[in-house]
Structure 1
Amino acid sequence: MTYNYEYFLASVVQQQAAFSWLLATIAFLFIINQRQPRKRKTPPGPKPWPITGNLNLLGSIPHQSLDSLSQKYGELMLLNLGSTPVLVASSPKTAKLVLKTHDAVFASRHTPALGARLFEGGALFWSPYGPWLRQGRRILSSELAVTRKIDSLEYVRVEERISLVSRLYEAAAASKPVLLRDHLSKLTGSISARLLSDHKKSCKTGDGRELRTAPIDMKRLNELVDEFFRLGGLVSNLGDWVPWLRPFDLQGCEKRVKGFSEEYEQFLDPVIEEHRALMKAAGKDFVPNGLIDVFLQRADDPNVEESEVALTRHRIMGLIHDVVSGGTDTSTGSLEWAFQEIARKPNVMEKAKEELDRVIGRERWVEEKDIAHLPYIESIIKETFRLHPVGTLLPRYSMEDCNLDGYEVTKGTISLVNVWSIGRNPEYWERAEHFLPERFLGSDIDVKGNDFSMLPFGSGRRMCPGYNLGLKVVQATLANLLHGFNWKLSGGVKPEDVSMEEVYGLTTHPKFQLSYLIEPRLPTHLY
């Protein structure tokens, strides 16, 4: 009995020891598991390479490459461009998540070398979310988004369209082929220049003097803006995505950006100083004549609230650049794409002319107020925006962690809304690859950032502040060019031969310019 009792006690002790070890092991494993980072559920995407990540997959036309990848990985996918996580949204649903549901999270922007160097970060396009972005947008919105102010400057848009029509009429009379891009760039550039500084108006002083500034050299300014859009493409600078490679400047981008920024400042400096001198000369009689004067007045206003960010020389330059870049290249590109598509579809041009003749007649030009009564013209514009958004990728930057459609997205992730992909998504658009303006007749889809299947001007906190003005320029210009002239491809080019290849940059344009032979279709006295 003694033996059995001792054996029993020894067995109990062993079991207790084993149980204690088991508890200790479980506790240890629990603690270790808690300390280890939990595997996050992230959106699907391709496996990245060392150092460069998925940069090799973007190709020369990134939005098209990303569209192809989305068909494999889904409407919300995660890539790594260098060492930077990049979230790509390719459907109206996921675009809404980024631009509306989590708009506050994704309100910032990743700042590349170009954005940091240009005017010392004064331009709003690349500005991170903060006091300067909010204040700068308020300034631009108060001048470019208020209907009363837009309407008060309609005479500028009309005068510049008349100049365009006159140039085209001369080309028609001489039977000269017309390269439309050059004429459109001059139109949009001239409108932007006069918004900034209307050289056709003067400031009258109390002693009878008339003061006016010289016209801005828009040819040179357009060249600078074109270079900006070329330098600002998604993959133009490897150092933007692999920061430790930036000092080596393997592509020479840093050097180009530095030189470009200096050239741009040297161009704008005398323009600003001329306006400052005119303000001083006019004294109490000074009346602002364009946005540059408005910016300078705000910069010198002693009554500005202390909480406002100082409107420095570089920030004034940044605002000037935002006005020009937002009002020239984008409008020109949209009009050019519209004509590319119309050239391929002669029946579209005939339907547009039939509507114009029926609503407007042939005894006057189209006015901006007429557009509401020209649904087919509006539909051509919408269909152009759908198939050929000039800004193909809307970049945002997450300022904090968030959950997106069940996926975890970390702070510091760049999001790209692929507007090009959304516009060609067959789940949302019937015969998505075809140019069919008729699809918008009777449709309530708008382009003002409320419908996430159409985002030509963006949406949310970073939507283009001058979208209404840009839309008026594009609509009225297209309507009057179709109303005033018959357009025929020159050089024996047939409609089916028109190329739709793209040139990629911050904005996307047709790779090949079309040449037209035109003839007037209205009475001579209207030209």
Structure 2
Amino acid sequence: MDIAVSTVLLLIMLACTLMHVKSKKWGCNPPPGPSLLTIIINSIELYKKPYETIEKLTKVYGPIMRFKIGQTTTIIISSTNTAKEILQTHDTSFSDRTKFDVSTSYNHNQHSLIFLPVSPLWQKLRKICHENLFSTKTLDASQDLRRKKLHKLLGDIRQSSLNEEIVDIKRAAFMACINFLSSTFFSHDFVNSVGDDGEYKHVVRTILETVFTPNLVDYFPTLRMFDPQGLRRQTTNFIGKLFDVLEPLIEERMKMRRENHYVTNNDMLDILLEISERSKDKMHKQQIKHLFLDLLVAGTDTTAHGLERTMSEVMHNPEVMSRVKKELAETIGVGKYVEESDIERLPYLRAVIKEGLRMHPPAPLVPRRAKRDVEVCGYMIPQGAQVLINEWSISRNPEVWENAHVFSPERFLDSDIDVKGRHFMLTPFGSGRRICPGSPLVIRMMHAMLGSLINCFHWKLENNMDPKDMDLDQSLKAIPILALA
């Protein structure tokens, strides 16, 4: 049996055993929600198809739904209006994040931009990201680093084209994202090619899996000392492996910077060390490692997943593929890669990316935590409750979107809706003070990679399958054919 399924079943059994555990009494008018028995009945579906199952339950219990398992209360928000209440009206009251037990590995929760509460340290890290690491000026200066990685990706796929080999799009995108990010951060490649199944891929995947695996300790804190599923031990092991890679990179750069002839790479490590050298409130090497841990792990798999899902939708819709190819051909020429500076001249490609993010948000359940008791739309959300914005459900709501389950980039042409957290029907990167700080880089990466894959190659499915017959729940594998000018 799959380890994650086993984990869920174990959680359910323990929940049943400890149902007598006394929980905090609710105030007046708590949100409605399924009973523990209903959760147990739907447990396997919640694991296999979490977003679809939650959406089904939302239709029964409404846009503010309460889950209670063990000592943990979770509130799921599934409408635009209630999302706006959480992310804008009461943003201050929901500005913290739930601290998962695995986040305590290497005391990461005490240094992490993701898990820190709003505090002076969090504000400092947030300001560095906004003003230094992900500003337009910084990303413009470092785009040559990503350009080289894009050329490498396209070169690898060109070789697959010459050999008539099938390309696993997500795998290729994952490897490319690793190098896009590692090059932008340290001017250093973490993998050799799209075919490299190296240590870093395994490290990132394992950390992500442990973070998203249901953990008994998060529901029953008294079990923390036992770590019954071994998730904290596993996370500690793999964070250590990643730090073993980052440590010598940082040490070597610090040594080089002490030498008078050093010339900056315009990467983010240089920026952080420059800030540390000139600021009274220095960034220590420890903080730099933890910040890069957040950025690398959060940015790699989510970007690759979004790219692959959007590419699948484009291939599944030949009319969309034809239109985006036409725009690329007329604007930059057939067979040429997309520069980051080209993005503003490609309105249909931008619409394709928005539509991909709408249907396949990188963070389908955006997490917050209630700092105090708060009344939202007539219901009381208690202090300490985990609050999840159900972005997946909101972005497919037929009351908000016409033909909500149809991939139609045209809906974003001549529309002012963006992905910057201002429009609560589309917040793939979150909103308010907890919006993803790296989203400007992710947006650049997705446009450059997707546009280049479409413009430089034609794509044929295995066994000459008709695109209309694609199973969109399956990984995308296709044969590239070189597009000649």
TM-score (norm 2): 0.86
Aligned with 1:86 (options 49, 66, 74): 74
Deviations 1:142-182 (A, max 9, x none): 23331111112222222221222222112112222222223
Aligned with 1:197 (options 186, 192, 197): 186
Q: What is residue 387 of structure 1 aligned with on the other side?
A: 359
Gap change, CA 1:53 and 1:518, over 3 Å in 2: closer
Gap change, CA 1:315 and 1:53, over 3 Å in 2: farther
Q: What is residue 227 of structure 1 aligned with on the other side?
A: 206
Task: Please tell me whether Structure 1 or Structure 2 has the larger radius of gyration of its CA atoms.
Answer: 1
In structure 2, the gaps of 5 or more residues are 1-24, 193-197
Aligned with 1:77 (options 42, 56, 65): 65
- 2: distance between equivalents of 1:86 and 1:71? 17
Gap change, CA 1:289 and 1:444, over 3 Å in 2: closer
Q: What is residue 487 of structure 1 aligned with on the other side?
A: 459
Q: What is residue 250 of structure 1 aligned with on the other side?
A: 228
Q: What is residue 519 of structure 1 aligned with on the other side?
A: 481
Gap change, CA 1:257 and 1:49, over 3 Å in 2: farther
Q: How does 1:419-438 map to 2 (within 5 A)?
A: 419-438=391-410
Q: What is residue 339 of structure 1 aligned with on the other side?
A: 311
Q: What is residue 377 of structure 1 aligned with on the other side?
A: 349
Paired residue type of 2:267: G
Aligned with 1:155 (options 144, 155, 170): 144
Instruction: Tell me by how many angstroms 1:255 deviates.
Output: 2.8
Gap change, CA 1:414 and 1:54, over 3 Å in 2: farther
Aligned with 1:172 (options 138, 158, 161): 161
2:116 is the counterpart of 1:127:
yes
Paired residue type of 1:75: P
- 1: distance between equivalents of 2:249 and 2:295? 15
Paired residue type of 1:47: S
- 2: distance between equivalents of 1:315 and 1:351? 46
Instruction: Tell me by how many angstroms 1:324 deviates.
Output: 1.5
CA contact (8 A) 1:115 1:127 kept: no
CA contact (8 A) 1:184 1:332 kept: yes
Deviations 1:467-514 (A, max 9, x none): 11211111122112111111111234332442233xxxxxxxxxx432
Gap change, CA 1:517 and 1:216, over 3 Å in 2: closer
Instruction: Tell me by how many angstroms 1:74 deviates.
Output: 0.6
- 2: distance between equivalents of 1:375 and 1:93? 29
2:256 is the counterpart of 1:294:
no
Gap change, CA 1:50 and 1:412, over 3 Å in 2: farther
CA RMSD after TM alignment: 2.6
Aligned residues: 455
In structure 1, the gaps of 5 or more residues are 1-36, 200-214, 502-511
Q: How does 1:49-88 map to 2 (within 5 A)?
A: 58-88=46-76
Q: What is residue 12 of structure 2 aligned with on the other side?
A: none
Instruction: Tell me by how many angstroms 1:364 deviates.
Output: 4.5
Instruction: Tell me by how many angstroms 1:300 deviates.
Output: 5.0
2:99 is the counterpart of 1:111:
yes
- 2: distance between equivalents of 1:318 and 1:53? 40
Deviations 1:7-45 (A, max 9, x none): xxxxxxxxxxxxxxxxxxxxxxxxxxxxxx995111111
Q: How does 1:211-226 map to 2 (within 5 A)?
A: 215-216=189-190, 219-226=198-205
Could you tell me the percent identity over the aligned residues?
A: 32
- 1: distance between equivalents of 2:414 and 2:402? 16
- 1: distance between equivalents of 2:182 and 2:319? 36
Q: What is residue 182 of structure 1 aligned with on the other side?
A: 171
2:275 is the counterpart of 1:275:
no
CA contact (8 A) 2:170 2:304 kept: yes
